[in-house]
A and B are shown apart, each in its own frame.
Chain A
Amino acid sequence: MSAPVIEAAGLTKHYGRSVAVEGLDLVVNKGEIFGLLGPNGSGKTTTILLLLGLTEPDGGSVRVLGHDPLREPLEVKRRVGYLPDAVGFYDSMSAWENLRYTMRLAGISSAEERIASALARVRLTEVADRRVSTFSRGMRQRLGIADLLAKGSELAILDEPTSGLDPQSTQELLDLIVQLAGEGMTIVLSSHLLSMVQAICSRVALFHRGRVGLVGRVADLASQVLGGSYIIEVEAEGCDTAKIVADVPQITRMTVVASDVTRVDAEIDIRPEIASRIVAAGGRLKRLSMDRSSLDEVYVRYFEQVDHAA
């Protein structure tokens, strides 16, 4: 196994009195899609800026691709591509000119071919000569990806790449990210939409108030956090589900989600019990599902536990 792409230890950053990142430890390996997940203001963007050397840490150490972003920022920035949250381009220039400008800044001459193939990759070839001011949000996001491709980044850091996109553009972008990772590009992406990225991330780190709560594969985190708790959704007609199953002893919590849908939290898998009770009461059971790998669930549960412990 080769050396990790990103290695951070005890990374700390304060803005005035408020803590942005506190004691962050992170290891990202080559070829991974690593998700930095958490609500707004939990330190994801600050972490990214620290990785790029765009802001100085108050403590701790980082190595990106074997270099210190603080001492050798040019070397790091040459090999790492960054797509900021709500990426901006020079509106008065065309897509092509924007890319050529960044190529020149990166010191890459004779970049015509690289730009052409990068634009083709994100399907922007036809609009290459149009001004960026006419581009939609999704097109800008794709142009940002083209920027990383043309630069030949080994590591791509994407900050909220899907925020503000419609579902179709989101799916396209996620597909593109998976493709790039398949070609050996390491990808770190941040998001507050947990469910959307859980599908593509090989590992995730859950952020909470500047700290990483959990790191690992989504499935592992789910069993680790949800552990002994089972979440069952019951959809039934013609009966009052909550009343019928209320006296099952293993139930810890019960919430009515919609008119016919009830969510039941239990210590063990009580699906057979629920089913038989509903049928016995003359109800029509339409759905009985158990989901144990939703990141949203993991996240909410984990930080409920943390807050209780605190």
Chain B
Amino acid sequence: MRREGSPFSGLSTVAMKEAADHMTSPRMHLVMLLVLLTAFGSIYAAIGEIKNTLSEDQFLFLRLFTTAREPLPSFVAFLGFLLPLVAIALGFDAINGEYNRRTMSRILSQPIYRDALLAGKFVGGLLVIGICLLTLWLLMTGMGILMLGLPPSGEEIMRGLAFLIASLAYAGVWLAISMLFSTLFRAPATSALAGLTLWLVFTIFWSMIGPLVAGAIAPVDPFDPTTAVHQAEIAHAIARLSPNTLFGEATLALLNPATRALGLIFVNQLQGALIGAPLPFDQSILLIWPQFSGLIAAMLLVYTIAYVVFQRQEIRA
């Protein structure tokens, strides 16, 4: 049955309202404060480390993001850890909050489709994360210029922007996940806990689960070295189910131009390669293309599930 009218009418209104709500909510302020503090801490530590080593490096600016000094991890590692938290904070009460405030039926009785409400909330959340990431990146770059005393090169800016887009896709996956939980669970506390649980599983336990499962699927035969390779490949494939792994690999290749391969590589494949020589920007992009597509696909898949669940929900009760 065809319905008349555009499913997108009202989308931008919802998105702008959601973005404005997020920008003014104390929840968002707290999370951003946390992100800013860790960002400054890690950048400050990175600058100290870079000044100490005084090595020659073509991509000194990118080192800002990836250099770590004990006990602090690098900025990128922090971001991989904290971005899901930001996304969960933005999305965990997106849908069930409307039911609990009893605004759902009133909003849906306006001339918009449910599509616009869900998509608007997603776009609004993504917009806020995008603005925050951009601000953060500009702040980091400014700090770098001030403290290192040199401007970033064109390629470094390109790589930085590509890194921003990858981060946005990564945050989008988590935003979709938290919105899915907010559609599935009626209580915001339950949906927040479900989101945090999944976050912990992927950030902490996934690196243990992968090899374990791979060991069970493909045991290593000590007399056949190819079985070891097989097991490592399976472990890698399982690890890549986690958006965190995909994001980690993408940022590694983007911010460390010397990265020439992600995953297993044989010595004969490295024949003739100049170890440590940076790849051109387009080659790095090519390298992370599967990871990037994976993130986008995961985002769309999870969003679609949330969409179907939401469309089938009864408005009452």
A binds B: yes
Specify which chain B residues have a CB less than 8 angstroms from the CB of A82 in the assembled complex: 105-106, 109
9-residue interface stretch from A65-73, A205-213, A260-268, A276-284: A65-73
Decide: B4 and A75 in contact? CB cutoff 8 A. Answer: yes
B108 partner residues in chain A, CB cutoff 8 A: 54
Please determine whether B315 and A54 come into contact, CB atoms closer than 8 angstroms: yes
A105 with B107: in contact, given A15-B314, A45-B316 (CB under 8 Å)?
yes
Which residues 159-191 of A sit at the B interface, judged by CB distance below 8 A?
Answer: none
Q: Are B316 and A71 in contact (CB under 8 A)?
A: no
- The digit string for B285-301, where 1 denotes a CB below 8 A from any CB of A, is 00000000000000000
B159 to chain A, nearest CB (A): 39
Q: Are B314 and A72 within 8 A (Cβ)? A: no
List, in ascending order, chain A residues with CB within 8 A of B316's CB.
Answer: 45-46, 49, 55
Complex: A15 Cα to B312 Cα, angstroms: 12
Tell me which residues across on chain B come within 8 A of A71, comparing CB atoms. 1-4
By secondary structure, the B interface counts as: loop
**A88 adjacent to B3 (CB under 8 Å):** no
Query: Is the C-beta of B14 less than 8 angstroms from some C-beta in chain A?
Result: yes
Selected interface stretch from B88-96, B110-118, B228-236, B249-257: B110-118
Answer yes or no: B58 CB below 8 A from chain A CBs. no
A56-74 near B? 1/0 per residue, CB < 8 Å: 0000000000000011111
A45–B3 Cα distance when bound, in Å, is 23
| C-alpha spacing A144/B112, complex, angstroms | 18
- Asked if B314 and A87 sit within 8 Å, CB to CB, the answer is no
B5 touching A73, Cβ below 8 Å: yes
Residues of A within 8 A of B104 (CB): 88
CB–CB A88/B101 < 8 A: yes
- The complex places the Cα of A309 from the Cα of B25 at a distance, in Å, of 59
- Which residues of B, 16-68, contact A by the 8 Å Cβ criterion? 17, 21, 24-25
Q: In this assembly, does B197 line the interface, its C-beta being within 8 Å of a C-beta of chain A?
A: no
Q: Does B13 contact A (CB under 8 A)?
A: yes
A147 within 8 A of B: yes
Shortest distance from the beta carbon of A277 to any chain B beta carbon, whole Å = 54
On whether A74 and B112 interact (CB within 8 A), knowing A15-B314, A105-B107, the answer reads yes
Contact between B4 and A74 (Cβ–Cβ < 8 Å)? yes
Q: List residues 90-142 of chain A with CB under 8 A from any CB of chain B.
A: 90-92, 101-102, 104-107
Distance in Å from the Cβ of A81 to the closest Cβ of chain B?
7
A207 CB to closest chain B CB (Å) equals: 15
A34 to B9, CA, bound (A): 32
When the two chains form the complex, which single residue of B1, B9, B109 contacts A54, counting CB atoms closer than 8 Å? B109
Q: How far is the CA of A54 from the CA of B104 in the complex (A)?
A: 11
A-B contact count (CB 8 A): 90
CB distance from A69 to the nearest CB of B (A): 10
A247 and B133 CA atoms in complex are apart in Å by: 89
Q: Which residues of B contact A303 (CB under 8 A)?
A: none
The smallest C-beta distance from A73 to any residue of chain B, in angstroms, reads: 6
| A-chain residues with CB within 8 Å of residue B105 when the two chains form the complex | 49, 54, 82, 84
CA of A72 to CA of B113, assembled, Å: 11
Which residues of chain B are within 8 angstroms of A46 by Cβ–Cβ distance? 316
Q: State the CA gap A281–B104 with chains docked (Å).
A: 64
Q: Is the CB of B102 within 8 A of A87?
A: yes
Q: Which of B3, B14, B24, B314 contacts A105 (CB 8 A)?
A: B14
A107-B109 in contact given A55-B314, A71-B2 (Cβ < 8 Å): no
The verdict on B103 contacting chain A, using a C-beta distance below 8 Å, is yes
Q: Which residue of A lies closest to B4 (CB)?
A: A72
Query: Contact: B106 with A74, CB < 8 Å?
Result: no
Are A88 and B1 touching (Cβ within 8 A)?
Answer: no
B109 touches A55 (CB 8 A): no
Complex Cα–Cα for A102 and B112 (A): 10
Alpha-carbon distance between A86 and B103 when the two chains are bound, in angstroms: 10
Contacts of A292 in B (CB 8 A): none
A106–B13 CA distance with the chains assembled, in angstroms: 10
Distance, CA A172 to CA B100, complexed state (A): 28
Closest-CB distance, A90 to chain B (whole angstroms): 6
User: How distant is the Cα of A91 from the Cα of B315 in the complex, in angstroms?
Assistant: 20
B10 interface residue per 8 A CB criterion = yes
User: Whole-angstrom distance between the alpha carbons of A81 and B14 in the complex?
Assistant: 19
Listed A/B pairs (14) with beta-carbon separation below 8 Å: A54-B105, A55-B314, A71-B1, A74-B4, A74-B111, A77-B109, A77-B112, A78-B111, A84-B106, A89-B101, A91-B101, A105-B10, A105-B110, A107-B9
Enumerate chain A interface residues (CB-CB to B < 8 A). Answer: 15, 45-46, 49, 52, 54-55, 70-75, 77-78, 80-84, 86-92, 101-102, 104-107, 144, 147
